[in-house]
Amino acid sequence: MSTPAEPSAVAGDETSPAATPSPSGSRVLVAWTGVLAALVLAADQLTKWWAESALTPNAEPIPLVGDLLGLRLIYNPGAALSIASGYTWILTIVVTVVVVFIVRAIGRLGSRGWAVALGLLLGGAVGNLIDRLAREPGFARGHVVDFIDYAGFFVGNVADIAVVAAAVLIALLSLRGIGLDGKRHTGDEADEASADEVASDAPGEPSGTPSPKPAGEQGDPA
């Protein structure tokens, strides 16, 4: 006959098969992440190729949705909004480190949401990294092809859209407490453990030390 504590221990077991993704499930998530990253990369490079063949650099924007969205080809040596234009090689190193980090993190995937986020982020990061490595004026100093004009505020590309979408999704997953492994990580378990520790070490219930008998119950040695 099981004790009352046993069912709760099983229910709260974080290492049970239901809580831990299977190796085959993880492989599927890794595969889908790679496929999504490849699709983003292909879309980014194909649209950049089209923009260079169809648009004139630094020309007036071609309206798509009034003044809100248009097409204008520019070559950006910096980051978003042309920030750090004089430090292209530093940006190349930063993006390379990000790509390596993403690739290493993919192996721990246990969440479909994170698989989508990392696929978008990896595809977008590699798309712009290829520009920095392979385009003029030289290796690691290449300018990124931007052609989507947002109301004159800034000009971006498909890779930028993927990176922004990934950032939003990662923020939502983090707010919900969903970790890379697919488990929901909250402070409740840590709080319960701390409460148990405090209770076990409370003055009325010393841990590991027998309580002395009340004076009225102490007898003479036999």
Active site residues: 146, 160
| DSSP assignments along the chain, one per residue | ---THHHHHHHT-TTSTTTS--HHHHHHHHHHHHHHHHHHHHHHHHHHHHHHHHS-BT---EEEETTTEEEEEEEESSSGGGTTTT-HHHHHHHHHHHHHHHHHHHTT---HHHHHHHHHHHHHHHHHHHHHHHSTT-TT-PPEEEEEEETTTEEE-HHHHHHHHHHHHHHHHHHTTB-TTS-B--SHHHHHHHHHHHHHTSTTS-SSSPPPPPGGG-----
